[in-house]
A and B are shown apart, each in its own frame.
Chain A
Amino acid sequence: MKSLELENVCKKFGEAVAVTDMSMHILTGELVSLLGPSGCGKTTTLRMVAGFVEPSSGSIRINGRDVTKLAPYERNTALVFQSYALFPHMTVAQNVGFGLEMRKVGKAEREEKSIEALKRVRLDHLSDRYPRQLSGGQQQRAALARGLVLNPDIFLLDEPLSNLDAKLRGEVRSEIRGLQQSLELTTLMVTHDQEEALTMSDKLVLMEAGSVRQSGTAQDLYEQPADAFVADFVGRSNVIKGRIEDGKFRTTDGTFMPTLPGAVADAQYYTLRPEKISLSREGDGVEGTLLERLYLGAQTEYTVRVGETSISVVTATPGPDDMRAGLRVGDAVRLAWDVASVRLLNN
């Protein structure tokens, strides 16, 4: 059994707090993502697990062993760097064999294992090349193989897709996830890309300003966001500020929004996913004016002004017979949504 546990980990750089009171638990074969905007402390957390940054307080345990004070080379983690960080003066095979050499594995066994790891990432035919002779995607696979070959306790991925072009990204995403699942790698991944996190992870930890805002499965975070920040960061959300008056939500500009009875009295944010709203020319619903229409192919995104508030709506692109097909900026529209899909949040 492999596991990674962080218990009340804090890190301060001088006066600046990078991570506060971080606790989490990763079990064998799980992929957990640290998600958040840049500067939220996710990379610092990853570097603390790898041993490059020493926590100011708290403890880190790998397979139950306290590694908080151990040097990087004393922990059996494998970090795949954002820049891949391959050794430029060594061939792919030498890169992959480096960790085994450090573990005093004999030459024959080293070569055998390196080739095996390179086969896993379909790079065995390029083992004699130097990193600069490889494409970005190939460099990344070499970096993955360099970690895989060691059978690490914890696999650490730092923004694994950020240096790849958009087309390759989807491919590599499923390749990494496939590898991770078939080898049951216990993995901690850092990313700022919510799509990456949602599609690849078993669990997500959403961080902001050094602390955890919410953790759980992708579904938990998307459907039950704990606060307005989570609601807007995971997927997109219309976050409308206001307060409850007479049991109904009233926006700061005075518009009353449809609210389920019994709403929490201290709610300050009315959050609603753009795809949960339906838009029509007439009929029931909240009245608004079309401000902008963005054609995205399969989907169309509308921005509608309701009172002083802009609301985003995403629908499947209407067919030619649809009444909405001819909508123009400035037209009056009606917005309707199921009140049950609204989440009222108090921070």
Chain B
Amino acid sequence: MRLTRLTYRGVIFLAYLVMLLPVLLLVVTSFFKDTIITFPPSGLSLEWYANAIDREEFLSGFIVSFKVAALATLIGVPLGMAAALALTRSAIRGKQAITTFLLGPIIVPGIVAGTALYLTFLVAQNQLDMDIVGTLPGLVAAHILLTIPWTVRVATAGLQGLDKSVEEAAANLGARPWTVFMRVTLPMMRPAIVAASMFSFIQSFENLELTLLLVGPGMSTLPIAMLNYLEFQIDPTLAAVATIQVVVIAAMMLITDRYVKLSRIV
């Protein structure tokens, strides 16, 4: 009995270790003094953080990533929620096919989808005589292809548990369809909406493959700025940037968790 419990705890500990070790190492090395990572370090310093903040490409990359993720979430989540609601509620034919279609963008490898988008954008640019590749609208449009499927994926599960009779009760008490939606359906969907928004934002914020061909001068996202930096240098600046990113995302998660228990949805 005691042995099985110990084994159980051991396995859980190992699982956490495997998941968190790379992140922990990243955080630790960001404080190392040496340019080339050595162990043990010759000393600790904050110079890489200073370097990260000094370098213009990281700050502008962060701002672009934040804008793109926020806009793509703001547009994609309502659309994805509407789709998820329709897919869980109504008796439309070919539900399975529609679901697969909507999840498509995250099933297709990102680099393939990115290439396809790049070619499409080029054609569109010629036809419309306007810039799309390397612009904010172009990036947002591309990232909506990430936020819609993630919303559908996260929200469908959440909406399936939603008791339809609660909405019927509202109608029975005299609420018209729009009132039912605003006063009952939407508040009940709140946990699913929050979870979907979180996932969508993070997926967009950290995306690399889909975005790779779509950025342009002065319009690059943080992951791509990091990749570019990595091509020429291997000092711990990237570890510092990544640590800041981890802290920001963790803070977002914690704040969200205060309002909606994430563990209840995911």
Question: A interface vs B, CB < 8 Å?
Answer: 50-52, 71-73, 77-79, 81-83, 85-89, 98-99, 102-103, 146, 150
Q: Which residues of A contact B107 (CB under 8 A)?
A: none
Is there an interface contact between A98 and B168, defined as CB atoms closer than 8 Å?
A: no
Is there an interface contact between B166 and A86, defined as CB atoms closer than 8 Å?
A: yes
Question: B interface vs A, CB < 8 Å?
Answer: 163, 165-166, 168-176, 179, 183-184, 187-188, 190
Is there an interface contact between B166 and A99, defined as CB atoms closer than 8 Å?
A: no
- In the complex, 27 of the A-B residue pairs with CB atoms within 8 angstroms, ordered by the A residue number, are A50-B168, A50-B172, A51-B171, A51-B172, A72-B172, A73-B171, A73-B175, A73-B176, A77-B172, A78-B173, A79-B169, A81-B165, A81-B169, A83-B165, A85-B163, A85-B166, A85-B168, A87-B169, A87-B170, A87-B184, A89-B187, A89-B188, A98-B173, A98-B175, A102-B173, A102-B174, A102-B179
B146 to chain A, nearest CB (A): 30
Known: A77-B172, A85-B168, A150-B174. 18 other contacts (CB 8 A): A50-B168, A51-B171, A51-B172, A71-B171, A72-B168, A72-B172, A73-B171, A73-B172, A83-B165, A85-B165, A86-B166, A88-B188, A89-B188, A89-B190, A98-B175, A102-B175, A102-B179, A150-B173
Given contacts A85-B169, A87-B169, A89-B187, contact A99 B174 (CB under 8 A): yes
Q: Which residues of B contact A79 (CB under 8 A)?
A: 168-169, 172
Is there an interface contact between B166 and A88, defined as CB atoms closer than 8 Å?
A: yes
A23 to chain B, nearest CB (A): 24
B265 to chain A, nearest CB (A): 14
Nearest residue, chain A, Cβ from B167: A85
Nearest residue, chain A, Cβ from B180: A73
Is there an interface contact between B170 and A98, defined as CB atoms closer than 8 Å?
A: yes
Is there an interface contact between B174 and A103, defined as CB atoms closer than 8 Å?
A: yes
Q: Which 6 A-B pairs have the closest CB atoms?
A: A102-B174, A99-B173, A85-B169, A85-B165, A72-B171, A89-B187
Q: Which residues of A contact B172 (CB under 8 A)?
A: 50-51, 72-73, 77-79
Q: Which residues of A contact B174 (CB under 8 A)?
A: 73, 99, 102-103, 150
Nearest residue, chain A, Cβ from B169: A85
Nearest residue, chain B, Cβ from A89: B187
Is there an interface contact between A83 and B171, defined as CB atoms closer than 8 Å?
A: no
Q: Which residues of A contact B168 (CB under 8 A)?
A: 50, 52, 72, 79, 81, 85
User: Within the assembled complex, what's the spacing in Å between the Cα atoms of A146 and B165?
Assistant: 15
Q: Which residues of B contact A89 (CB under 8 A)?
A: 187-188, 190
User: Within the assembled complex, what's the spacing in Å between the Cα atoms of A51 and B175?
Assistant: 13
User: Within the assembled complex, what's the spacing in Å between the Cα atoms of A98 and B170?
Assistant: 8
Nearest residue, chain A, Cβ from B184: A87
Most chain B CB inside 10 Å of its own CB: which residue of A71, A88, A146: A88
Q: Which residues of B contact A86 (CB under 8 A)?
A: 166, 169
Q: Which residues of B contact A77 (CB under 8 A)?
A: 172
User: Within the assembled complex, what's the spacing in Å between the Cα atoms of A236 and B120?
Assistant: 74
User: Within the assembled complex, what's the spacing in Å between the Cα atoms of A85 and B172?
Assistant: 11
Most chain A CB inside 10 Å of its own CB: which residue of B170, B174, B175, B187: B174
User: Within the assembled complex, what's the spacing in Å between the Cα atoms of A25 and B252?
Assistant: 60
Nearest residue, chain A, Cβ from B173: A99
